[in-house]
């Protein structure tokens, strides 16, 4: 039996066994190659599947983390909203308690839609500027709590966003869900009712008030402004008010300011800091807007049957002009400061440059003195050279006749030729302008 290759192996008894290896056929080799390629493809596909599984698991992990973060954010936002709501409720409760105590046990509030009303003007009521009309339900809730002998007149706080003013009661005849506001209250709340100026008193009060409302023919024209909060309040009698005209011509145009103010304030029952009051000249009827800057003893007061001390502050225009003048002076002072700083900087630079030039000239003189040969004694072959300096001074030195002329220049280089020369006003080097004898 012939074989291409043998494998020697001994069995347990030490007998040498010969195991023949048959040659592989071409078909077997092809099958083995295909099996090897298939095995490699399987391994590659398995590696791809494993990699895809890892990517899928990583994607799912990130999705879970994202979902957890969103859940935590939603829970935190909900907790913050609950905390804010609780805080707002606590503030409302505290405000309610404070108002209940201040109002001597009376409290009521309602959110109502504002409408322009001209009823007080039409009825010829003197303190018509801040008389409001409330719905019947408001009165049914408030009147049982209110004792006029104990609590006095009914006053109300009107809040719309950040704006706040106060008013007194006209009647409880407004439609449900509505509060009727006169032009002055509308203006103080910033409502768009064309009420930027109060109408002058006229025999036909309704016509005058309609003129304020922009010519409207319907008393009670609705104002698209949302709801405002009306809350019962008690107000103390005012003792002091500081008013500020908007126009710089107020004092010049109004003339009798005291009488004009008294006439206007007689149409009011309340004043609030931030309100605007329209005062008219008794001479020509020109209107001037005044802002309520400060009040005493509280930021909102009653002006019914009280002696009110009034101060008139400089006008808004005057303050603006004064502020502009102060700003102009500040700019001029700043420009002057900058100019002074620049001048000092230039002087410092010039001084530093001058010092550097003088030090360089002194160093050059010292170097020239070191390079100069010792001065010879008087005698034969020695001459004396006199140099007239730019300063007017003269300098002399002895030289041997055999020395080159360059030594004379070195000697001159050791001399102090004056500050002008050191600072560079003289040309470097030397020239021969004349000689003697010719």
Which whole-number Å values give the CA distances from 39 to 27, 28, 43, 49, 144, in the listed order?
Answer: 18, 16, 6, 15, 97
Give the pLDDT confidence score for residue 429 in this predicted structure: 64
**What integer best gives the mean pLDDT of the chain?**
81
Give the pLDDT confidence score for residue 196 in this predicted structure: 37
Contact 182, 270 (CB under 8 A): no
Give the pLDDT confidence score for residue 437 in this predicted structure: 64
Give the pLDDT confidence score for residue 216 in this predicted structure: 38
Give the pLDDT confidence score for residue 2 in this predicted structure: 44
Give the pLDDT confidence score for residue 339 in this predicted structure: 93
Give the pLDDT confidence score for residue 10 in this predicted structure: 45
Give the pLDDT confidence score for residue 428 in this predicted structure: 57
Give the pLDDT confidence score for residue 338 in this predicted structure: 92
Give the pLDDT confidence score for residue 241 in this predicted structure: 93
pLDDT digits (tens, 9 = 90+) for 136-179: 999 999 999 888 888 889 999 999 988 999 999 999 999 999 99
Give the pLDDT confidence score for residue 345 in this predicted structure: 93
What is the C-alpha separation between 282 and 280, in angstroms, rounded?
6
Give the pLDDT confidence score for residue 436 in this predicted structure: 64
In the chain, which stretches have pLDDT less than 70? 1-25, 192-225, 420-432, 434-438
pLDDT digits (tens, 9 = 90+) for 186-202: 999 988 654 334 444 33
């Amino acid at each position: 039996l012939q074989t291409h290759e043998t494998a020697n192996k001994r069995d347990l008894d030490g007998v040498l066994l010969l195991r023949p290896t048959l040659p592989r056929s071409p078909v077997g080799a092809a099958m083995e190659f295909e099996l090897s390629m298939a095995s490699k493809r399987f391994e590659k596909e398995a590696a791809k599947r494993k990699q895809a599984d890892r990517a899928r698991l990583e994607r799912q992990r990130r999705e879970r983390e994202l979902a957890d973060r969103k859940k935590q954010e939603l829970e935190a936002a909900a907790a913050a909203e609950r905390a804010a709501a609780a805080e707002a409720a606590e503030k409302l409760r505290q405000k309610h308690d404070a108002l209940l105590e201040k109002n001597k046990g009376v409290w009521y509030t309602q959110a109502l839609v504002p409408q322009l009303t001209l009823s007080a003007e039409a009825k010829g009521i003197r303190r018509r500027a801040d008389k409001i009309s409330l719905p019947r339900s408001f009165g049914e809730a408030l009147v049982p709590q209110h004792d006029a002998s104990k609590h006095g007149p009914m006053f109300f706080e009107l809040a719309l966003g950040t704006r706040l003013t106060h008013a007194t009661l006209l009647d409880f005849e407004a439609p449900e869900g509505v509060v009727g506001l006169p032009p002055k209250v509308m203006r103080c709340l910033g409502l768009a009712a064309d009420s930027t100026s109060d109408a002058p008193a006229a025999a036909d009060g309704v016509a005058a008030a309609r003129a304020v409302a922009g010519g409207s023919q319907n008393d009670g024209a609705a104002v698209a402004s949302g709801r405002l909060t009306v809350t019962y309040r008690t107000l103390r009698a005012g003792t002091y008010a500081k008013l500020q005209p908007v126009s710089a011509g107020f004092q010049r145009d109004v003339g009798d300011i005291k009488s004009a103010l008294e006439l206007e304030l007689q149409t009011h029952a309340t004043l609030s800091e931030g309100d605007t009051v329209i005062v008219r000249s008794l001479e020509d009827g020109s209107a001037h807007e005044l802002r309520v800057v400060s009040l005493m003893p509280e930021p909102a007061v009653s002006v019914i049957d009280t002696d009110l001390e009034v101060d008139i502050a400089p006008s808004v225009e005057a303050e603006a002009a004064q502020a502009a003048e102060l700003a102009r002076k500040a700019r001029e002072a700043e420009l002057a400061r900058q100019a002074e700083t620049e001048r000092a900087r230039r002087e410092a630079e010039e001084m530093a440059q001058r010092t550097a030039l003088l030090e360089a000239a002194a160093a050059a003189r010292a170097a020239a003195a070191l390079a100069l040969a010792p001065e010879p004694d008087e005698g034969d072959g020695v001459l004396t050279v006199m140099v007239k300096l730019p300063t007017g001074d003269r300098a002399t030195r002895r030289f041997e006749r055999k020395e080159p002329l360059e030594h004379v220049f070195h000697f001159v280089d050791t001399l102090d030729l004056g500050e002008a020369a050191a600072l560079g006003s003289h040309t470097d080097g030397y020239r021969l302008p004349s000689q003697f004898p010719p």
